[in-house]
Every structure is written in C-alpha cells, then in structure tokens.
Amino acid sequence: MGYAHPDAVRLIAEVQQEYVIRYGGMDVTPVDPRQFEPPRGLFAVGYLGGEPVACGGWRAREADGPGLAAGDAELKRMYVTPAARGRGLSRTLLRHLEATAVEAGRSRMVLETGTEQPEAVALYTSEGYAAVVKFGVYRDTPESICLGKALTPAVPVQRSADRAPGVV
C-alpha cells in the first residue's frame, strides 16, 4: 500500500474534508508521500467487505523542531469513514501503526490533533497518550493538541523446556 495508493488518496481527501468541516480549512502540514515508505514510515489502509474504510500512517521524525526528539514517529491522517465508525477500527489501526513503528526502531509516537476532534482525543488518551510540547505548523494555534506515548518493544514470551509449545 502506501500514501499515494488510490484508496489512500481517496481516504486522505475525505479526512481533509472532515478538517474543513471541523476547523474551516484543510491540514496544511507539509507531507511528502515518500516519508511514509518503510523503513522510515508506513501508511496503511483498512478494508471492510473489500471497501477502504480506514487509514493512517506514521513517519520518522527526529529532533528537527520544537517538541520533537530523536526516535519519534509522527502519526498522520488517522481516519475512519462515518459508516465504519464504532467498530474499533481506529484502535486496531493505531495499535498496528505503533507496532510497526517499534519494529522500525522508533521510541515514541507523537501526534497533533485538535479540540474539534473529541473522539480522537478520547481514543488517544485511552491508549496512554499524554500531552507533549506542541510541535508542527499548528503549535501556536489554541485549538491544537499534541500528544505522545513512549513505544516499548513487545517482550517475547520465554517457554519452559518442560511445557508444550504455546503454553507459558
């Protein structure tokens, strides 16, 4: 998949219209689709019944601006179509993006959302995200909310020699 895939482009256009409705304009954060290519990024699209209904991605960030640190991954363009909401797709997608960021060596996920997206704020805080120093083009905007979460690698389960595989 990728940021430039036609299904991703369609969903990104939909989320941009959501920003227009909620904030009066599109997100003007500079984004280069190549930033979402592995190993320094990833963009995923989720499907239900063969239809694209969710998207989101992360891109590697470093200490290249206020509020950013070496090893950061920035979450971008998280979106679920209205008809597919309420099924846990955002949470599933978020956890997938976190896991792939960890696999790529990223140590913290950061994101920028806003006061007009209470559902997003509720999702992120329920997943352990907390306020961080504001970053990006909206850092001086009162409606901007920047959140972050330390990413920790999954700990492999050690099996005892006297137990059957799969039993811990």
What tens digit of pLDDT does each residue of 85-123 get? 999 999 999 999 999 999 999 999 999 999 999 999 999
CATH of the domain at 18: 3.40.630.30
Instruction: Judge whether residue 157 has pLDDT over 90.
Output: no
The answer to whether position 168 is within a domain reads: no
The answer to whether position 55 is within a domain reads: yes
Q: How many domains does the chain have?
A: 1
The answer to whether position 90 is within a domain reads: yes
* Listed range (59-68, 99-108, 153-162) with the worst mean pLDDT: 153-162
> Which residue in 5, 70, 87, 10 sits closest to 44, CA to CA?
5
The answer to whether position 28 is within a domain reads: yes
- What pLDDT, on the 0 to 100 scale, is given for residue 167? 41
The answer to whether position 155 is within a domain reads: no
Number of residues assigned to the chain: 168
The answer to whether position 166 is within a domain reads: no
Instruction: Judge whether residue 53 has pLDDT over 60.
Output: yes
CA distance 90 to 97: 10
- What pLDDT, on the 0 to 100 scale, is given for residue 168? 36
Instruction: Judge whether residue 74 has pLDDT over 50.
Output: yes
Contact in structure between 29 and 136 (CB atoms under 8 Å): yes
Mean pLDDT over 6-13 rounds to 98
User: Quick one: 37 exposed, middle or buried, by C-beta within 10 A (0-12, 13-18, 19+)?
Assistant: middle
The domain of 16 spans 6-150
The answer to whether position 22 is within a domain reads: yes
